[in-house]
Amino acid sequence: MGGIHGDKYEAILDAAYTVFGTKGFYESKISEIAEQAGVAKGTVYLYFKSKEQLFTAVTRRDCEQYLAEMQGALANRALEEGLLRMANLHLHYYYKRKQHTKLFFMTPNSDPDLMEFMRGFIQDYTDMVKNKLALEGVRQPELHAKAFIGMMERLKMDILLDKDFREYDVDQTAEFAANLFMHGCKAGSGIRRL
Amino acid sequence: MGGIHGDKYEAILDAAYTVFGTKGFYESKISEIAEQAGVAKGTVYLYFKSKEQLFTAVTRRDCEQYLAEMQGALANRALEEGLLRMANLHLHYYYKRKQHTKLFFMTPNSDPDLMEFMRGFIQDYTDMVKNKLALEGVRQPELHAKAFIGMMERLKMDILLDKDFREYDVDQTAEFAANLFMHGCKAGSGIRRL
Amino acid sequence: MGGIHGDKYEAILDAAYTVFGTKGFYESKISEIAEQAGVAKGTVYLYFKSKEQLFTAVTRRDCEQYLAEMQGALANRALEEGLLRMANLHLHYYYKRKQHTKLFFMTPNSDPDLMEFMRGFIQDYTDMVKNKLALEGVRQPELHAKAFIGMMERLKMDILLDKDFREYDVDQTAEFAANLFMHGCKAGSGIRRL
Amino acid sequence: MGGIHGDKYEAILDAAYTVFGTKGFYESKISEIAEQAGVAKGTVYLYFKSKEQLFTAVTRRDCEQYLAEMQGALANRALEEGLLRMANLHLHYYYKRKQHTKLFFMTPNSDPDLMEFMRGFIQDYTDMVKNKLALEGVRQPELHAKAFIGMMERLKMDILLDKDFREYDVDQTAEFAANLFMHGCKAGSGIRRL
DNA sequence: GATGAATGAGGGTTCATTCAT
DNA sequence: TATGAATGAACCCTCATTCAT
């Protein structure tokens, strides 16, 4: 046995992560996920009630890993250093997921569980940053948190979509973001290319 | 006849804008769009080759209107004032489209025309900001442009998803964004609520 | 154009009558009905919302034809003669439908429309007999009506299931039934075989 | 161990009786029967080769009990008294099974064993009545037997479907049926309501 | 141009049955 | 015997697209 759910559960989830991530929810077929997982189509339905719930489970697992990785980034650090670490984690996380971009764009409409979960996830992520900012005396910490995350999201896009993006570019982008957020656009950092 | 394409063309485009915007691409039905446009299903195919191309046309029209509105925002202004105007336009634009959120999230995979167009649109938008920043001597103008737009995108989300967002909140959010971008997070603006 | 619904509508109904009648509801496939009707599978759904509703429509048409044929049997006749005619109609009706026995046995559970319709049909049929009996002074006309129809139903079964049943046997069975109902079992009729 | 087949065998048969009786053959799931019987799904297949055979076994047991109860009803009695007893048994039998109506309506097509058994059961039941009638000098005893049973079947329907049917109504219905069969419709019995 | 009836490929889901443990 | 995870065939229904009128 693998996890608490068993090997097949994990295999299906992994396969779904790959297929959904590659094609998006609507263009993915359960049969393909099953095949990729090495199980029969019916087996998928032993573990997940529907295609929507499978997608939700994939998303949930991914977001939870994400938040877990973020947890330590801000603790016990000066603000700028914490933000820099966070920016690094954020961008590297997606850099590793370059092959799964569709997971983040093509989500189903209908499933209320998923909508609810996503709302919660975004809130949790925002709160994490907001609390740190508040602690450091930044005013309007929630708005600032959202703006910071928004910057990261946009910079992440380049990473996802640009074939030529290299890992060291990620570090420089993170440094740029933290610096801009702290000091504004006039305080040019020492980044040379990009 | 209305536009160069004829009344029906516009009617279908308008209907598609509404339906796609409400339900997303995959959950929208051509039959519903046709009904909403007051034409027969077959008529849609006289004007658009496929569902994908109709979606692309809707998106294209919307993005072009957007860029057109943005054009004048930055010209002949000081940087901070230009960014503020731009932030205002950006956020108000989506505020007016609160009912069509799905248009921005649920797009189809498959259509290469759309992908190509979206890439071009994002590039044009970025360039518009980048050129202004370069003119003002900001280093790494492209990265800065992306970061600014990313901030706006995230702040826009609240507007789209928050039922209670009011129009004057939009203005304050824009002011906040421009200020943060110019001076960094420590230089608290005078915004009180939000 | 054939009826008010068009040729395809009738073709599908006829095909459904045959297939449902031969295999019963659950063992019948829409694809087979479509094929038999000479239309595509999807076409069935242009005329009928679901398999259940198609079955209901088939049943409804059949029952309505049945009641229509029965209408004249009892009017302006002496009781015994009327019952004899009715018995004849009842039995001949099913004799003609020997190939469609499943239509009467294998009906779906779920459809409330069908349940409601069948209840109404049985009631109408019963009332037709009941009213005649009441007019002729028979006490408890409803119970008597049900008993008479029950007799016919059982005698019909032999006709449906017995390969060797011939049309002239039908007449004799009808005569027997009317006689039994009028006079009881001791008043043996002159029927010789069966 | 309970019967010759073991406790599980009986438990499955009982569960199947309940589930098939409530939902009919096609809408019943083996998994539900297994659950109700307190055994695993696979266990059902240790005792019954298929869903059809389980249904056949349920039907067989029920019919055999029925015939067994009927056996004594006609022996050593005058005809009218025997028929009355039989009518009573017939109607009370179904009265007790009001909750299991689907068992009698929704049977599968495919199983030849079941078809064969049902044919035999009906024949046995008919013969039982036929022999008594022949003994009493009634002509065409088989036809008369079928007519009598048909009457009972129809009258039974009211009992199964009418929520308000009470046990004493059953007795009066039986009396009515026996009387009608003996003397015809003009010889009104003294039944007052129904 | 405009219509809408007709098409048919396609996929999510169910569930009887099997079999390794 | 007993289990229940796994299988995969089967089928209803949807809907983008076509085309005769």
Quote the pLDDT of residue B189.
45
Q: Which of B143, B161, B170, B193 should we substitute to test contact with A (largest number of A Cβ atoms within 10 Å)?
A: B143
Cα–Cα dist C148/C153, whole Å: 9
> Is-contact D178 D87, C-beta < 8 A?
yes
| Residue C146, in any domain of the structure | yes
CA A22 vs CA A26, A95, A103, C31: distances in Å? 11, 15, 7, 34
> Is-contact B149 A101, C-beta < 8 A?
no
| Residue B192, in any domain of the structure | no
Q: Could you tell me if C139 and C112 lie in one domain?
A: yes
* Partners of residue C141 in chain D, C-beta under 8 Å: none
Question: What is the domain extent for residue C148?
Answer: 58-183
Q: Could you tell me if D125 and D175 lie in one domain?
A: yes
Q: Could you tell me if D80 and D118 lie in one domain?
A: yes
Q: Could you tell me if B80 and B44 lie in one domain?
A: no
> Is-contact C15 C48, C-beta < 8 A?
no
Q: Could you tell me if D104 and D126 lie in one domain?
A: yes
Closest CA relative to residue B103, chosen from B48, B163, B63, B149: B63
> Is-contact C38 C10, C-beta < 8 A?
no
Instruction: Enumerate residues 6+ apart whose C-beta is below 8 A from D152.
Output: C150, D87, D90, D91, D177
Write the pLDDT tens digit of every residue in B84-103.
999 999 999 888 887 776 66
B40 touches strand F (CB under 7 A): no
Q: Could you tell me if C121 and C142 lie in one domain?
A: yes
Provide residues of A within 8 Å CB-CB of chain B.
Answer: 23-24, 26-27, 102, 105-110, 133, 138-140, 143-144, 146-155, 157-158, 161, 173, 176-177, 180-189, 191, 194
A57 touches strand E (CB under 7 A): no
Tokens representing C30?
Answer: 């829409």
| Residue A189, in any domain of the structure | no
Confidence of residue A3 (pLDDT cuts 50, 70, 90): low
> Is-contact B147 A148, C-beta < 8 A?
no
Q: Measure CA to C1' and name the residue nearest F10.
A: C29
- The nearest alpha carbon in chain C to D189 belongs to C139
Stronger pLDDT, D42 or A193, i.e. the higher one: D42
Cα–Cα dist D114/D20, whole Å: 14
The sign of the torsion formed by the CA atoms of A125, A126, A129, A131 equals: negative
Confidence of residue C6 (pLDDT cuts 50, 70, 90): confident
* Partners of residue A176 in chain B, C-beta under 8 Å: 140, 143, 147
Q: Could you tell me if B7 and B92 lie in one domain?
A: no
Positions 8-67 of C with beta carbon below 7 A from strand F are: 28-31, 41-42, 45, 50-52
Nucleotide nearest to D25 (CA to C1'): E16
Provide the domain count of chain C. Answer: 2
CA B8 vs CA B13, B16, B41, B43, B58: distances in Å? 8, 12, 12, 9, 14
| Residue D194, in any domain of the structure | no
Q: Measure CA to C1' and name the residue nearest E14.
A: A42
CA C174 vs CA C17, C128, C153: distances in Å? 26, 18, 11
Q: Which of A143, A144, A156, A169 should we substitute to test contact with B (largest number of B Cβ atoms within 10 Å)?
A: A143
D50 touches strand E (CB under 7 A): yes
Query: Residue C150 and residue D152: Cβ atoms within 8 Å?
Result: yes
Closest Cα in chain D, distance from residue C57 (Å)? 19
For B12-34, the DSSP string reads HHHHHHHHHHHH-TTT--HHHHH
Nucleotide nearest to C27 (CA to C1'): F11
Q: Could you tell me if B29 and B65 lie in one domain?
A: no
Cα–Cα dist D170/D188, whole Å: 18
What phi-psi label fits residue A184: left (phi over 0), alpha (psi between -120 and 50 degrees) or beta?
left
Cα–Cα dist B73/B60, whole Å: 21
Strands (E), C50-170: none
State the virtual CA torsion across D185, D186, D190, D192 in degrees, nearest 10. Answer: 70
Residue pLDDT tens, chain D, 194 long? 445 677 899 999 999 999 998 888 999 999 999 999 999 999 999 999 999 999 999 999 988 988 888 887 887 888 999 999 999 999 998 888 877 766 666 667 556 778 788 888 889 999 999 999 999 999 999 999 999 999 998 888 888 777 788 888 899 999 999 999 999 987 654 333 33
| Residue A16, in any domain of the structure | yes
Q: Could you tell me if B149 and B76 lie in one domain?
A: yes
CATH number assigned to the domain comprising residue A31: 1.10.357.10
Tokens representing C124?
Answer: 């109408």
Write the pLDDT tens digit of every residue in A36-49.
999 999 999 999 99
* Partners of residue A152 in chain B, C-beta under 8 Å: 150
Place of tokens 């009992």: D159
| Residue C43, in any domain of the structure | yes
| Residue B37, in any domain of the structure | yes
Q: Could you tell me if B36 and B68 lie in one domain?
A: no
Q: Could you tell me if D64 and D32 lie in one domain?
A: no
How many CA atoms lie within 13 Å of D148's alpha carbon, on the beta-carbon side? Answer: 35
Of D109, D142, D183, the CB nearest to C102: D109
CATH number assigned to the domain comprising residue B19: 1.10.10.60
Place of tokens 């088989």: D142
Q: Could you tell me if C37 and C63 lie in one domain?
A: no
Confidence of residue B193 (pLDDT cuts 50, 70, 90): very low
| Residue B194, in any domain of the structure | no
Confidence of residue C192 (pLDDT cuts 50, 70, 90): very low
